[in-house]
Amino acid sequence: MVRTGLDRLVSTGFASLAGRSLGVLCNQASIDSNIDHILDHMEPLHRSGFLRVKAVFGPQHGLFGHTQDNMIEWEGKADERRGWPVHSLYGEHRDPTDEVLDDVDLLLIDLPDVGSRYYTFIWTTALCMRACGRLGIPVLVLDRPNPIGGSRVEGTVLSPEFASFVGLHPLPMRHGMTLGELARYLQSEFYTRCELRVEAMEGWDRQMGFADTGLPWAMPSPNMPTVDTALVYPGGCLLEATNLSDGRGTTRPFEIAGAPWLDGHRFCEALNQTGLPGVKFRPIQFEPTFNKYAGEICEGCFIHVLDREAFEPAITAVALMQEGMRQSPDFAWNPPPYEYELQKLPVDVLAGNSWLRGEVESGTPVARVRQRFAEECADFASTRRKFLGYPLPTAR
């Protein structure tokens, strides 16, 4: 069984934190292997004076996941149970202010990631590292598994001119790294003033699926209910930039795609003929309860991943968008704003470039798009390799 950074800290009784005044960045999924939350571990240590929790920070969706949909801000308040101040990092501020860090001498970060560049918890971590570097406050990241594995990398690498809160720095859509590895990359390349330490995992292998870790799954965010969701998300999130439903408002977000103006059977027949590896598309009807097309009957597909090692989520999303465009003139790109970007099209913000939109619009064969993905990821590979804390699988 894998032991996370939190598990390792718990096993020592938090000995390395004795006497520290802490800021803690976490959310509802910051649990150990016994399904106990990090704040529940810290409460008796705080009461005894072993350590002091000065501030708690929560990312997008709230400390305990109360904001259901995406791009909904929230504001902090005192923790009613413990009396600790809780600060939102997805509201008026997306990075901690000097004032809220005033009494903190160590920022502890224990956040789940799902293996995709767009997941904002990465960038909340980055902004915290920037703030702490400026103030001379050390940062400790408790590492966790990448739930979709750490060996596969896919998609475009963000170009700096398309930086946003769904990608502040160059990173592939599916990055194949852990949050601890990402933090090392960010510290070395962008936040050199940040004093960083990573509490590594024990027993994690880069080829592990989440089920192989033996760890309990807790939803990292409200629309990430299962590991299957995380697996399709590096492609499925691109649909947020279109008028296709990405399945939000259903029980299987990102595994479902469609619209009221699609013919689900024709849609799936065409997708199944593309020969995409590790996946099959099943025609369905669905009625979202919120987000796009709430209360309307949509037709589309359920994305069945048959082989998680072969499945390519980003290229699958390209095929979905191309077929939606081919099937109906009603297909459209959503206009801005999107995740605090007011000018650029959301699809360009998510892609991290403008060329991918052009390839979808021109119907470029997915094999050619895949090759361009591979070239960008190969260019990033040497950078990524420097920060991997767990061995890459050996070639067979």
Residue 82 confidence (pLDDT): 84
> Of 231, 181, 237, nearest to 210 (Cα)?
231
User: DSSP states of 221-262 as a string?
Assistant: STT--SHHHHHHHHHHGGGGGBSSB-STTSSSTTTEEEETT-
pLDDT tens by residue, the chain, 396 residues: 999 999 999 999 999 999 999 999 999 999 999 999 999 999 999 999 999 999 999 999 888 877 776 667 878 776 767 889 999 999 889 999 999 999 999 999 999 999 999 999 999 999 999 999 999 999 999 999 999 999 999 999 999 999 999 999 999 999 999 999 999 999 999 999 999 999 999 999 999 999 999 999 999 999 999 999 999 999 999 999 999 999 999 999 999 999 999 999 999 999 999 999 999 999 999 999 999 999 999 999 999 999 999 999 999 999 999 999 999 999 999 999 999 999 999 999 999 999 999 999 999 999 999 999 999 999 999 999 999 999 988 754
pLDDT of residue 390: 97
Confidence (pLDDT) at 158: 98
Given this model, what pLDDT does residue 92 score?
87
Residue given tokens 């005894």 in the structure block: 48
pLDDT at residue 263, as a whole number: 98
| Interacting residues of 41 by C-beta distance below 8 A, sequence separation 6+ | 10, 14, 32
Domains of the chain: 5-213 (3.40.50.12170), 227-379 (3.90.1150.140)
Q: Coil, helix or strand for 283?
A: strand
User: Which pTM value belongs to this model?
Assistant: 0.96
Q: Which residues pair with 78 in a beta bridge?
A: 85
Q: Write down the pLDDT at residue 329.
A: 97
What radius of gyration, in Å, describes the C-alpha atoms of the chain? 21
Q: Which phi and psi (to 5°) does residue 285 adopt?
A: -115, 145
Integer Cα distance of 225 and 62 in angstroms = 16
Residue 235: per-residue pLDDT: 98
